[in-house]
């Protein structure tokens, strides 16, 4: 991913009051934005078809990749960039939907881990397959757009990280 420094270096500098971005930067950003919108539009439709919200899907992914096959509510909040009380309500909704369950931690009896239920695993597996396919459909546009931005950063001397 190009750093902010690299993108800034794609600025053509005549004088400090007259800085303009190379037109290719806009083309690259527009391509990335289009690919993201296509993917997000697909995602919203796929999630709605199985009755899962975007936030619930993100939480299911976070739970699935947790080291202990379970995760604390605080960690879900951190990963999803939401408040703890919002994460508690999110987990409550996942439990009501039968997608997750709270279980006592074997390492720390004071802690509770949120784990996927077999139904949660099944729903997540199906959604992940569909999302992977949709992501790969958008790969050419993403690759082309990112390459354009990277090339602009390199040709304008912006190689610092």
Tell me what pLDDT residue 37 has.
Answer: 97
Tokens of 142: 């993403």
Per-residue pLDDT tens over the stretch 103-116 = 998 888 788 999 99
160 within some domain:
no
Confidence class of residue 4 from pLDDT cuts 50, 70 and 90?
A: very low
161 within some domain:
no
127 within some domain:
yes
141 within some domain:
yes
What is the total residue count of the chain?
A: 161
Tell me what pLDDT residue 2 has.
Answer: 43
Tell me what pLDDT residue 110 has.
Answer: 85
Domain that holds residue 144: 4-155
Query: How many separate domains does the chain show?
Result: 1
Per-residue pLDDT tens over the stretch 61-78 = 999 999 877 999 999 999
Mean confidence (pLDDT) of the chain: 87
Per-residue pLDDT tens over the stretch 136-156 = 999 999 999 999 999 988 886
CATH number at residue 46: 1.10.10.10
């Amino acid at each position: 991913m190009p750093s902010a420094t690299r993108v800034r270096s794609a600025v053509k500098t005549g004088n400090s009051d007259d800085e303009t971005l190379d037109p290719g930067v806009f083309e690259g950003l527009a391509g990335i934005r289009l690919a993201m919108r296509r993917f997000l539009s697909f995602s919203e439709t796929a999630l709605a078809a199985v009755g899962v919200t975007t936030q619930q899907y993100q939480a299911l992914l976070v739970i699935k990749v947790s080291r202990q096959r379970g995760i604390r509510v605080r960690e879900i909040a951190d990963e999803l960039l939401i408040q703890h009380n919002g994460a508690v309500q999110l987990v409550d909704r996942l439990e009501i939907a039968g997608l997750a369950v709270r279980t006592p931690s074997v390492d720390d009896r004071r802690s509770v881990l949120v784990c996927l239920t077999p139904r949660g695993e099944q729903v997540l597996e199906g959604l992940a397959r569909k999302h992977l396919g949709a992501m790969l459909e958008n790969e050419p546009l993403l690759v082309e757009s990112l390459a354009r931005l990277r090339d602009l950063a390199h040709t304008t001397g912006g190689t610092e990280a």
